[in-house]
Amino acid sequence: MHTLRARLTVGLVVLLAVSCAAVGVAAVVELNGFLTGRLDQQLRDAGVRFPASLEHGGSLPSDLPRSRKGSTGGTPMGDEDGDEDGDEDGDEDGDTRRQAVGTFGCRLVGDTVTDAAVVGSSSGTGAVPVPLGAADRRKLAAVPADGDGHTIDLSSLDDYRVMAAEGRDGDVLITGLPMEPVEATVHRLELVAGIVFGAALAVAGVAGALWVRWSLRPLSSVAATATRVSELPLSSGEVALPPRAPESDPRSEVGRVASAFDMMLGHVGEALTKRHTSEERLRSFAADASHELRTPVASIRGHAELALLHPDPVPQKVVRALERIEAEVARMGEMVDDLLLLARLDAGRPLERRPVDLTRLVLDAVTDAQAAGPGHRWTLELPEEPVTVPGDAHRLHQVLANLLANARLHTPVGSTVTISLRTDAGTAVLTVHDDGPGVAEDIRPKVFERFTRADRRRTEGAGTGAGLGLSIVAAVAEAHDGSVTLDSGPGSTTFTVRLPTGEE
């Protein structure tokens, strides 16, 4: 029901069902009205002969004129073949001649039923008395003598269509015919209509589903292509877009959607190609520039060191300047190395894959951090068994060194830095936690991006790095098929590195 195809099919079937129901209801109501009208006409034709004869035990009173029709305009009360008394060939309980089987007759004086009978079978049963309950008598007394048909339900006869007329001696004569033929015909129509409409709905549902599916084929192709595009890594690298959606009728809405989508894919593919070309040029430039800068940087550092080793007296200001040159050149050399590493990782160059004792790397990195930051409290939480991961030992050591340096530089003296290592379902989990002021909220989303620097207010006297340390951590972790995340708040900052151990 969630797909457009299903909704269209269901909607089509529902509309057809509503139309069939409307047609069926209209047909049933119209047929019921028509047959009831025919029944009323039969009552008018029958007149009040049968109920009038009940008072006289099968014969009509002699003082009734031959042409009496009663107030309803029925047939003459006398015998049409000249028998005025109407008692020849009649029944002693009522005149049933030319009366349909099941005809009901009733005579009321005031609100009291004096006689009630029904015409029996054609085998000569004659008029059969009808037992009436109190409720039946009230229903008969309530029938108006207006010459119109009314439907009542008698306990011993079910539904009857009755018509009342006033007699000559102040009584009320009621003639009725059973509604069973009308109801049977209407019920049969309902059954036939239900079967026919049900079959039509089933056929229409199947045909509609096939038709909708055929009509939406281009849209399904567009959806499939869009799904494949959504699964592609579009953030970086060369991207091979899937084939375009097949052409369809451009005059239809689905065809226009397919055409527009194909044009959009063309523009996206062109933009991705240009972006990849630009990225390749930038990476090549960064790698070449970093590689070329290493030689002059090393040369400047060498000359500065050589000048400091000169035996002749050198003014103190010159010595200070040479020391600053040496320090800045060393920092520039580290930055060049970092840029060259990032360029190599961006180019997808594989790292060394050997078993690395991560526990030993953590111990060595913490020892170096204690020497560099003796004012901090360094805490270790290591498992009893060594944790080994496949990877490049030098680069993983660089990850640890960068995380510990970040914690040392961006927390005040006296802060506690906790390094923990554990394994979890084939993954080595390394965390570096500190209780410093935390990373600024606006910095957190881009903390692993290049040249991102932490808030200067986080600590006073911190070093001014180039903002490449955490980006190298993320790049090296990703190159090892791992990840790094940050969870920071006031008084708590945690970097978590996850690396696969290669064990199931």
162 and 260 part of one domain? no
Instruction: Please write the tens of the pLDDT for every residue from 296-306.
Output: 777 777 777 77
In a domain, 210, yes or no: no
Q: Is residue 425 part of a domain?
A: yes
Alpha helices in 47-155 (DSSP H): 49-54, 134-141
In terms of residues, how long is the chain?
504
Let me know whether 404 and 428 are in one domain: yes
Alpha-carbon distance 398 to 339, whole Å?
A: 14
Which tokens in the block code for residue 446?
């881009």
Q: Say what percent of the chain tops pLDDT 90.
A: 14
- Whether the Cβ atoms of residue 494 and residue 486 lie closer than 8 Å to each other: yes
Q: State which H helix or E strand residue 319 sits in.
A: helix 316-346
Q: DSSP secondary structure string, 261-307?
A: HHHHHHHHHHHHHHHHHHHHHHHHHHHHHHHHHHHHHHHHHHHHHHH
For 128, the domain range is 47-178
Residue 186 lies in a domain: no
In a domain, 303, yes or no: yes
Domain contains 65: yes
- Residue 371 is given by DSSP the state H
Residue 201, domain member (yes or no) = no
In the predicted structure, residue 158 carries a pLDDT above the cut 80: yes
Residue 85 lies in a domain: yes
The dihedral of CA 355, 498, 477, 227: what is its sign? Answer: positive
Q: Which residues pair with 117 in a beta bridge?
A: 105, 129
- Which amino acid belongs to residue 395? R
Report the pLDDT averaged over residues 358-362: 89
* Mean model confidence pLDDT for the chain: 78
- Looking at residue 71, the DSSP 8-state letter turns out to be G
Q: Does the pTM exceed 0.85?
A: no
> pLDDT by residue (tens digit) across 241-265?
666 666 666 677 777 777 777 777 7
Total domain count, the chain:
3
d(CA 210, CA 282): 53
> Could you tell me if 162 and 286 lie in one domain?
no
Identify which has the larger pLDDT, 26 or 74: 26
Nearest to 160 by CA among 185, 186, 132, 182: 182
100 in a structural domain: yes
Looking at 291, 316, 349, the residue that finishes a domain is: 349
User: Is there a single domain that holds both residue 141 and residue 267?
Assistant: no
Q: What is the CATH number of the domain that holds 335?
A: 1.10.287
pLDDT at residue 232 is higher than 80 = no
- Check whether residue 477 and residue 372 sit in a common domain: yes
Q: Which one is predicted more confidently, 59 or 148?
A: 148
Strand-pair partners of 378:
417
Tokens (6 digits) for 147: 């010459």
- Sort strands 377-381 and 416-423 into parallel, antiparallel or unpaired: parallel
H or E, element range at 477: helix 469-479
Q: Coil, strand, or helix at residue 373?
A: coil
Q: In angstroms, how far is CA 305 from the centroid of its own chain?
A: 71
